[in-house]
Amino acid sequence: MVRRYLRRGYSSFAAHVFDIPPRFMVFLFLIVLLLLPMVGLAPYYLSIIIQANVLAIFAVSWDLLVGRTGQISLGHAIFFGIGSYSTALLFKYYGLPVWITIPIALLTGSVAAFLLGFPGLRVKGPYLALVTMAFPLIIGTLLKWSPLIPIFGGEFGIRGLPAFFSFLPDPTPQVNYQRIAEYYLTLFLLFVSSVIIYKIANSKTGIVLVSILDDELASKACGINVTKYKLMAFMISGLFGTLAGCVQTHLLHVANPPMFGLTLSFAPVIITFLGGIGTIYGPIVGSFIYLILDKYLLTDLLPKLCEYFNVTLPDEFVYAKLLIFTLIVIILVIKWPRGVARFATDKLEDLEEARDLDERGPRIWKRYKRKEKN
Amino acid sequence: MLIEQIIVFGAISSGVYALLALGFTLIYGVSRVTNLAHGSFYMLGAYMFFVFSSFFDDLFGSGMVSTSILALILAVIFVGIVGILTYRIAIHPIVGDQVAVMVVTVCLALVFQQLILLIFGPTFPPVRWPAGSFLVISTLILGVTVQYSRILAFVVSLGLFSSLFVFITKARIGKAMRAVSQDREVAMLMGINTERLSMLTMALSAMLAALASILITTSTSMSAGAWMWLHPLALSFSIVILGGLGSIKGSLIGGFIVGYAEQTVAIVVPEGGAIVGVVPLAVMVIVLLLRPRGLFGKRVELEE
């Protein structure tokens, strides 16, 4: 009895929520994100969202390469690292401002993607995955090699990079204008790059890329220059991956070997799997889930709750945090292999079908829909 | 002197590396699982050897080779069971989706790392043969001082590799493994229980990783660490790709190539010890540029 009411309540709620057209949902999401700094969010939470934005750019670029083109890359950190190190080196040796170094770094990143694309074109499937995984490991180790330390700074990397908005007033306890400006910058970059990638993925080129994912031989037989399109996917993906690296390095003011690390190689993979692979919008959702899970729930909320309930966390909790996080990721991947965003869209499509069958849904958006049908 | 050093140490590490890579290639061949948690089984092997040997030391008094070997066997069996459980719980539901398998296995590697950190803390427990036993005494081969433990590692790994080769080519289960790797569905139709076979292969692969770990660690670094899984993982996948995924002969030859390349760099290049980890990866990339399917991986199946 109660369950039936609950279910009815849920379905009417779901029908109301899912009935909102996706474009409006995106708009709403954007408005919420735009207004977030206005509500006086603490700088720590703001920095979590900044990180989420940067990682979202990174994961979206990965999704274009893997989810749409099917070229499994487990070493996307190579682009991230190239971006961060080339901006850092340009600043260190030539003292160039940010607005010049980032375009040069983007160029470097796409040239590097072009060069790495060659082995990528020759090998397939798991071979490609493992080879791409090797690239950042090689460079990350070479950076720590003692003959190269004078150039790349070794373990500590290149420090003291300027912030994006150093001309703004210094942070005060009440308000941190620099952080807010950085937030809007990353949000803008995320918006622009995801729109560009979404447009590419849904253009004619994008259809060709999906055809390579589905059947490379068949698309070759249709007269598609598979090599060209694969290289193109590599380069576009590398370009945006590099952008994420450039932004991150100026946010953290440092470029160091972990930028080539395994964690960063797998962050976009995990994020995309959480959000939904091959959807382009999925990674954006996924990166927010990832960082909220990692940086908010486990780092911030759980200790506070424990403090509230007078439970002292043991010192080993530092290790348990990553353990819990990876366990959650494993469970999510096994439970929803198509991602959380995909799960939601599947639900949405199901509901739409159900509503077409019997007109029980609410009528708020009916006019909109009728317009679309005509 | 240098050349002799390279020859002797290269041969010793190559044999163990081949054993390590064999596990990786077997599980890929049988169930198409790119097991990025292979390094974790390596790490677990070293830790379990430490646990069991210190347990036996408390029980029977230290300094006995026999208890150490018992500890080795128990550790290897334990890691095999962990491998079966891992396959059953985490990998089995998503077998067939290449990327998902890689995500889950790399997460499993992190899970094992954090579990080890939780249980043992960031310490480096000793993994060594009992002091005073004949295994820690050195001898001269080609004018190079070599410990008996290294010779033991070489002999054990080559002996095990050849017996496994015979097992896979001749024995009933080995034939089933090859059949599954050639065509899973037809093998099922012929009445092979592919699920059980996959679990068995996973256990074998984990056990090989654990054994290789104990053999390598007792003769080189002598201590375990929670972060020691990345290097063997890079090593095993580069060896396997060098020889061709799923090729058993390839993993032996790849192991020798990588082992010798590593020793050469470590001995010849200045400050080479720091970049030894790069060598297998670099060799792999160079070989793949020349031969995209690896040296022996013409077909993606378990070859003889």
Q: Write the pLDDT tens digit of every residue in A325-338.
A: 888 888 888 887 77
Q: What is the dihedral of CA B50, B51, B56, B59, to 10 degrees?
A: 130
Strand runs labelled E in chain A: 158-159, 254-255
Q: Which chain B residues touch A323 with a CB distance below 8 Å?
A: 110-111, 114-115, 118
Judge whether B206 and B79 are in contact, CB under 8 Å: yes
The better pLDDT of the pair B303, A181 is held by A181
Asked if B103 lies within 8 A of A137 by C-beta distance, the reply is no
Amino acid sitting at position B171 = A
Strand runs labelled E in chain B: 138-141, 144-147
Closest of A122, A130, A139 to residue A245, by C-alpha: A139
Residues A158-163 have a mean pLDDT of 80
pLDDT confidence tier of residue B81, bands split at 50, 70 and 90:
very high
Instruction: Give the per-residue pLDDT at B234.
Output: 86
Nearest to A126 among B106, B107, B245 (CB): B245
Residues A215-243 have a mean pLDDT of 89
Nearest to A129 among B102, B234, B293 (CB): B102
Judge whether B16 and B217 are in contact, CB under 8 Å: no
Which is it for the CA torsion B36, B42, B45, B47, positive or negative? Answer: negative
Distance from CA of B205 to the nearest CA of A (A): 18
Q: Write the pLDDT tens digit of every residue in B83-116.
A: 999 999 888 888 877 788 888 898 899 899 888 8
Judge whether A216 and A48 are in contact, CB under 8 Å: no
Distance from CA of B134 to the nearest CA of A (A): 37
Instruction: Give the per-residue pLDDT at B274.
Output: 73
DSSP letter at B146 equals E
Judge whether B206 and B19 are in contact, CB under 8 Å: no
Instruction: Give the per-residue pLDDT at A19.
Output: 62
- B47-61, B119-133, B236-250: range with lowest mean pLDDT: B119-133
Among A264, A290, A333, most B C-beta atoms within 10 A, so best to mutate, is A333
- A229-238, A249-258, B126-135, B279-288: range with lowest mean pLDDT: B126-135
Whether residue B290 lies within 8 A of chain A, CB to CB, comes out as no
Asked if B114 lies within 8 A of A326 by C-beta distance, the reply is yes
Nearest to B234 among A66, A137, A319 (CB): A137
Nearest to B117 among A72, A123, A319 (CB): A319
DSSP letter at B126 equals B
Burial degree of A82 (CB within 10 A; 0-12, 13-18, 19+): buried
Q: Write the pLDDT tens digit of every residue in B151-191.
A: 888 888 889 989 988 998 888 888 888 888 888 888 888 88
Instruction: Give the per-residue pLDDT at A60.
Output: 92
Calpha distance B25→B302 (Å, rounded)? 8
The better pLDDT of the pair A282, B274 is held by A282
Among B24, B34, B97, B103, most A C-beta atoms within 10 A, so best to mutate, is B103
* Averaged confidence pLDDT in chain A: 80
Residues B2-11 have a mean pLDDT of 81
Strand A254-255 with B138-141, pairing? unpaired
Instruction: Give the per-residue pLDDT at B300.
Output: 45
Judge whether B153 and B11 are in contact, CB under 8 Å: no
Closest of A66, A291, A294 to residue B100, by C-alpha: A66
Look at residue A242 and tell me whether its pLDDT is greater than 90: yes
Judge whether B207 and B215 are in contact, CB under 8 Å: no
Whether residue B123 lies within 8 A of chain A, CB to CB, comes out as no
pLDDT confidence tier of residue B41, bands split at 50, 70 and 90:
very high
Q: Write the pLDDT tens digit of every residue in A294-324.
A: 887 777 777 788 878 877 777 777 778 888 8
- Show which residues on chain A lie within 8 Å of chain B, measured between beta carbons: 66, 72, 74, 118-119, 122-127, 129-131, 133-135, 137-138, 141-142, 144-147, 262, 266, 269-270, 273, 277, 316, 319-320, 322-323, 326-327, 329-330, 333-334, 337
Percentage of chain A exceeding pLDDT 70: 86
Closest of A91, A100, A225 to residue A160, by C-alpha: A91
Calpha distance B46→B16 (Å, rounded)? 14
3-state secondary structure of B39: helix
Q: Which chain B residues touch A326 with a CB distance below 8 Å?
A: 107-108, 110-111, 114
pLDDT confidence tier of residue A243, bands split at 50, 70 and 90:
very high
Residues B204-216 have a mean pLDDT of 90
Asked if A126 lies within 8 A of B121 by C-beta distance, the reply is no
- C-alpha distances (whole Å) from A285 to each of A43, A281, A292, A344 are 21, 7, 11, 11
Nearest to A119 among B111, B230, B289 (CB): B289
Asked if B110 lies within 8 A of A322 by C-beta distance, the reply is yes
Could you tell me the pTM of the whole model?
0.83
